[in-house]
Amino acid sequence: MYSEMKEQRGQALPEYIVGTLVVVAVLFTPIEVFGGRAIIGVLVESFQKNYKGYEYVVSQPVDE
* Residue-range domain boundaries for the chain: 14-59
pLDDT at 1 exceeding the cut of 80: no
Cα–Cα dist 10/13, whole Å: 6
Q: What pLDDT does 29 receive?
A: 94
Q: Output the pTM of the full model.
A: 0.63
Cα–Cα dist 14/63, whole Å: 57
Give per-residue pLDDT as tens, 18-50.
999 999 999 999 999 889 999 999 999 999 999
pLDDT at 3 exceeding the cut of 90: no
Q: What pLDDT does 16 receive?
A: 94
